[in-house]
């Protein structure tokens, strides 16, 4: 049982929120547990969920790469809920559990990841563990592989998802946390 | 939540519920989560306030001299 209980799904009446929930269900991230906690405050739930879905699935950077970054961040955040969810879209694109595991571990040595993949994974790896390393030299390296717009796209995606992962982590009673 | 999320446990939520409604706690939790995410990311982008403490519009070089290059809120994080 979470520290804040989700509301019953029958209580969600807002058509925009219901549409966003349908999009999230199709994607698989986030699932209803998180959304129904958020749905206690519909005025927050709609823009946050919309931004999470947009940042994860739209833009000009590979969705599968973002999915690996999202799961890596969830593991660092210590959040068992978000780290276990998987994007159905990324899996359909061919993303494997081996790649997901490597993205949170030995990605630097994995020959199957491109240099562009590796620097993006380092971006999410360092951002909330040691942000001092995400400095000018790091951004210069990022810009060899990504446009400024793509860097901001990845940054915004990390911001939204990591922030909600940290909040969700606190909602799990400690006895049930991984 | 930002520096030691393990401290935000059942007891902490019980304490919060004495002062805030469940809906207000969700509002605060999402607000804090967003701010944790944004402030860390924006802290890495190396940009500075547009205005001096006395309200003058200033360029980034002057702002850097006034406000310093170290994001103090991030000092010691991740160690």
* Residues in A lying within 8 Å of B, measured between beta carbons: 3-5, 37-38, 40-41, 44, 48, 77-78, 127-132, 134-136, 138-139, 155-156, 158-167, 169-171, 173-174
Residue A178 falls within a domain, yes or no? no
| Domain range summary for chain B, segments of one domain joined by + | 5-74
pLDDT digits (tens, 9 = 90+) for B37-48: 998 898 898 888
What CA–CA distance (Å, rounded) separates A94 from A177?
Answer: 30
pTM of the full structure: 0.91
pLDDT attached to residue A172: 87
Which residues of chain A does B26 touch, with a Cβ-Cβ cutoff of 8 Å?
Answer: 4, 37-38, 40-41, 44
ipTM of predicted complex? 0.89
Contacts of B53 (CB under 8 A, 6+ apart): B66
pLDDT attached to residue B71: 57
Nearest CA among A62, A74, A70, A8 for reference residue A35: A8
Q: What is the CATH number of the domain that holds A132?
A: 1.20.1290.10
Q: Would you say residue A178 has pLDDT above 80?
A: no
pLDDT digits (tens, 9 = 90+) for A50-77: 999 999 999 999 999 999 999 999 999 9
Residue A8 falls within a domain, yes or no? no
Residue A92 falls within a domain, yes or no? yes
The answer to whether A45 and A39 have CB atoms below 8 angstroms apart is: yes
Residue A72 φ/ψ region, left for φ over 0, alpha for ψ in the -120 to 50 degree band, beta for the rest:
alpha
Q: Which residues of A45-61 are buried (b: 16+ CB within 10 A; e: fewer)?
A: bbebbbbbbebbbebeb
What CA–CA distance (Å, rounded) separates B37 from B32?
Answer: 9
Structural domains of chain A, count:
1
Average pLDDT over chain B reads 87
* CA dihedral sign, ordered A158, A160, A163, A165: negative
Domain interval for residue A101: 61-172
Confidence of residue A177 (pLDDT cuts 50, 70, 90): very low
pLDDT digits (tens, 9 = 90+) for B18-68: 999 999 999 999 999 999 999 889 889 888 888 999 999 999 899 989 988
């Amino acid at each position: 049982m979470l520290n804040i209980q989700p509301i019953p799904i029958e209580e969600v009446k807002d058509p925009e929120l219901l549409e966003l929930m349908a999009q999230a269900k199709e994607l698989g991230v986030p699932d209803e547990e998180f959304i129904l906690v958020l749905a206690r405050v519909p005025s927050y739930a709609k823009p946050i969920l919309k931004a999470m879905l947009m940042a994860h699935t739209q833009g000009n950077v590979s969705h599968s790469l973002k999915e690996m970054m999202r799961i890596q961040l969830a593991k660092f955040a210590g959040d068992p809920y978000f780290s276990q969810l998987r994007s159905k879209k990324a899996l359909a694109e061919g993303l494997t559990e081996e790649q997901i595991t490597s993205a949170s571990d030995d990605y630097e040595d994995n020959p199957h990841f491109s240099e562009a993949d590796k620097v993006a994974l380092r971006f999410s790896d360092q951002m909330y563990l040691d942000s001092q390393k995400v400095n000018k030299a790091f951004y210069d390296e990022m810009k060899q592989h990504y446009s400024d717009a793509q860097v901001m796209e990845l940054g915004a995606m990390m911001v939204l998802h990591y922030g909600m992962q940290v909040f969700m982590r606190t909602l799990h009673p400690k006895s049930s946390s991984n | 939540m930002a520096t030691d999320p393990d401290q935000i446990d059942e007891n902490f939520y019980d304490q919060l519920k004495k002062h805030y409604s469940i809906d207000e706690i969700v509002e605060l939790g999402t607000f804090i989560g967003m701010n944790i995410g944004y402030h860390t990311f924006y802290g890495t982008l190396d940009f500075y306030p547009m205005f001096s403490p006395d309200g003058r519009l200033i360029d980034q070089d002057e702002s850097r001299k006034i406000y310093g290059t170290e994001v103090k809120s991030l000092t010691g994080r991740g160690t």
